Amino acid sequence: MNPINRELPDHAHVVIVGGGVVGASIAYQLTKAGVSDVVLLERGVLACGTSWHAAGLIMQLRGGHTATDIARYNAEFYPQLEADTGMATGFKQNGTLAIGRNRDRVHEMNRRASMAKSFGIDTHVLTPKEAKDMYPALDASHVAGALFIPGDGQLNPVDTVNALIAGAKKRGARILENSPVDKLRRLPSGEYTLDTKNGTIRCETLVLACGLWTRDFAAQLGARVPLHACEHMYVVTEAMDFVVPSLPVLRDPDGYTYIKEDAGKLLVGSFEPRGKALPVEKLPAEPQFIEMQEDWDHFELPYTKAMEMIPALEHVGINKFMNGPESFTPDDLPCLGEAPGLPNCFIAAGLNSEGFEISPGISRALAQWIIDGQPDRDLLDYDVARFHPFQMNKRYLRTRAAESLGGIFAMPWPFKEHETARPVRKSHLHDRLAAGGACFGETAGWERPLWFAPKGIEPKNEYSFFRPNWYQHTAEECRAAREGVVIIDMSSFGKTMVQGRDACPYLQWMCASDVDVPDGKVIYTHMLNSLGGIECDITIDRRAKDCFIVYSSASAHWRDMNWMARHIAADRHVTVTDVTAAYSVLNVQGPKSRDLLQSLTDADLSNQAFPFMTAQEIDIGYARVLAKRLTFIGELGWELQIPSEFVQDVYDVVMAAGKPFGLRPAGYQALEHLRCERAYREFGLDLAPDDTPFEAGLGFLVKMDKPGGFQGREALLSQAGRVLNRRLVNFKLKDPEPVLFHDELIRMNGKIVGYLSSGAYGFCLGRAVGMGYVRHPDGITAELVDSSTFEVEIACESYAADGSLKSFYDPTGARVKM
């Protein structure tokens, strides 16, 4: 094919590297939003990387709200694309017929059907017979239930990329094929230069959309884009009589397969339980239109399952075996957004075999991010800044990528843990916790205790959408926390030291609360974006005049550090340093925590001498530990921050002294149930960049009148002291039986008003509890909430609930202040 354009300008406002569906979509959306000085460089011809392989399936519904919000735009966008460009993309809305082979999968699909209502996505829950009527070739004996989503469909990948490019060109973008970029550099001016075989081009904004090649390519600039290729396979059969253009796309996740109509034939593709990871070095040297060898040994399992579901496949020949490389990320979510430490360098890669499904949504969001300097929606889960440095380890990526491919169709159990690439990071107490019966889960590489198995019980998760095997043990841990005392190893907390002459004024500007407090005061606060949305949910303790430690959740830690680092002005004397490994954290919580700790230290732990939200150095065993009086479960308690080399001894001393108090170790499962019961918000679930502290019911933390103001203050002016149309509300089901996780639909006085951002069983309350943002045009007041009726819909069943702006457990917070 000939290059479309060989003339390389020496400058453009935006340069996009990569002419697959992602690069083409970004060029389209940027030009549509009015940014026309865009150059796209593709080293081969358009779509020659992974995009040409795609089966072209388009689905709107995902497991959660954020992902569905992104994906659903495809059904709106693709018909417009044809209309806009006059170019056929082969897009048709023949619908998805999702099959469940067992009770759990049907329940999970019903949960999605409920969630779909909050987006207005049309879905139909079908019986096996109705599924068979819709798709007569099915063997209905393998169907336990089904879900039909009529707005889903399929498209032709290459035609779609060409249409996107035509739309972008029409609005001014310049597209250069046969333009491999060799070198990337960041200039002292902040601009970027790209060396190609046709010369060098300079730009203010760089977008790297190089598919599976992005990881190594972006590493030139020091960007972290943890992805790894896997082989992704499908076959195309010979023609079959029943295969008509209107046949819906079949998804059979329990059989690991998707099946679509393809010009009178069937295309059968798979997301088998463990994929085949493919190191970049093993790819053919010529990176265009790569086809890997067929591998029937690997494809046998899914194809056998496909024949089980559609027996006619047993009697038809195979026309084509397609095996193409695609990139997968450690958490099955894309790498999107500004690369940490590289202003105006944006990443859009790691599409986990969903490039066509989600590129309309992610490219629209990224274009807005480029134009406004920040996203216009919650992209937390996709943010490339979320990754930790260890996640670039190639062995880790190779091992995890194989699981990620299987993860596309694996059962999305609540609290499902990764099985591969573990253990990565262990606390100094790991062996002690394991000996105590800990069942570990993994967050940001850290092995953390989830729950403790009593003697004789295997510490192994058995998942469920109802009551998993750990519930009774977690319930015991929760009871101990509410009535006695528990100890939780929380060493995985991210700890960032912020130091320097300007540390205090800098943090004052960054945080919505007053941080210029006396040494020893602990602050719970938020860092906001310019729209007033919550970017970081942190606690801070002031160690000295010019030294603070900022605590983040393990998963948010590197994103928080990046947020802090990128807001330090060049003339500020401030440094941020990761000190996570230096300190371990033991959380001793419960009404008996004071008596227990008092038995171990000379320090006065009384309420007067050691008030809530303060910190003191105290002696325990032979160690000096920083004790902070705070809680994330709603009880009296202390967080002990201990130099890591001392933690084993401190743990042993506390455990021994705790015996008469009934001390027991607790895990992160108990923490989740307890914090939900007390209605404490969690970042990433209840708090996100598109939620403000006032909407979250945390306005009491905001110091609007702080001298000098703070980032985000202007945006909050319209909310402070006002009744808001959107607010986080707490819920408690009336029926003691059902359990809640998140994403369940909320109805207020019969109308859909939102969904749960968090949910858990409140073991002390004896009911499932949850919280979620609710919208009402007249404003959400306590009176309105108290006088309204609420229902929460779980998997298409509605349950009556109480709603309240206050926590159902200890609404006055008296227990933490005793």
Ligand X SMILES: Cc1cc2nc3c(=O)[nH]c(=O)nc-3n(C[C@H](O)[C@H](O)[C@H](O)COP(=O)(O)OP(=O)(O)OC[C@H]3O[C@@H](n4cnc5c(N)ncnc54)[C@H](O)[C@@H]3O)c2cc1C
Q: Give the residues lining the site for ligand X (CB under 6 A).
A: 17-23, 41-44, 48-51, 53-57, 180-181, 209-211, 213, 217, 232, 234, 269, 287, 322, 324, 326, 349, 351, 353-357
Residue number with CB closer to ligand X (318 or 752) = 318
CB-based burial of residue 200 (10 Å sphere; 0-12 exposed, 13-18 middle, 19+ buried)? middle
Residue number with CB closer to ligand X (71 or 716) = 71
* Cis-peptide into 302, omega within 30 deg: no
- CB 322, min distance to ligand X, A: 5
The C-alpha angle with vertex 258 and arms to 257 and 262, in degrees rounded to 5, equals 135
Measure the CA dihedral 63/69/71/75, to 10°: 120
Residue number with CB closer to ligand X (21 or 696) = 21
- CB 458, min distance to ligand X, A: 38
- CB 801, min distance to ligand X, A: 37
Residue number with CB closer to ligand X (356 or 452) = 356
Write down the residue that tokens 């290729």 correspond to.
Answer: 229
Tokens of 537: 């949910």
Tokens of 44: 């081969």
Residue number with CB closer to ligand X (305 or 664) = 305
- CB 21, min distance to ligand X, A: 5
- CB 258, min distance to ligand X, A: 7
Residue number with CB closer to ligand X (228 or 747) = 228
Rounded CA separation 47/22 (Å): 10
- CB 212, min distance to ligand X, A: 6
- CB 182, min distance to ligand X, A: 7
SS3 657: helix
- CB 214, min distance to ligand X, A: 7
Rounded CA separation 191/203 (Å): 6
Rounded CA separation 590/593 (Å): 5
**Residue 297: partners with Cβ closer than 8 Å, 6 or more residues away:** none
Residue number with CB closer to ligand X (355 or 689) = 355
Rounded CA separation 728/691 (Å): 9
- CB 529, min distance to ligand X, A: 27
Residue number with CB closer to ligand X (24 or 605) = 24
SS3 389: helix
- CB 756, min distance to ligand X, A: 28
- CB 267, min distance to ligand X, A: 9
The H or E element containing residue 145 is strand 145-149
Residue number with CB closer to ligand X (142 or 276) = 276
Write down the residue that tokens 């190779």 correspond to.
Answer: 398
Which has the closest alpha carbon to 205: 429, 369, 7? 369
Residue number with CB closer to ligand X (318 or 603) = 318
**Residue 404: partners with Cβ closer than 8 Å, 6 or more residues away:** 230, 275, 328, 329, 330, 331, 332, 352
Rounded CA separation 34/372 (Å): 12
Write down the residue that tokens 């399992």 correspond to.
Answer: 301
**Residue 263: partners with Cβ closer than 8 Å, 6 or more residues away:** none
Q: Using CA of residue 112, residue 118, residue 123, residue 126, what is the dihedral sign?
A: positive
Rounded CA separation 680/525 (Å): 13
SS3 58: strand
Contact 615, 519 (CB under 8 A): no
Residue number with CB closer to ligand X (278 or 488) = 278
Residue number with CB closer to ligand X (154 or 529) = 154
- CB 334, min distance to ligand X, A: 9
The C-alpha angle with vertex 646 and arms to 643 and 652, in degrees rounded to 5, equals 135
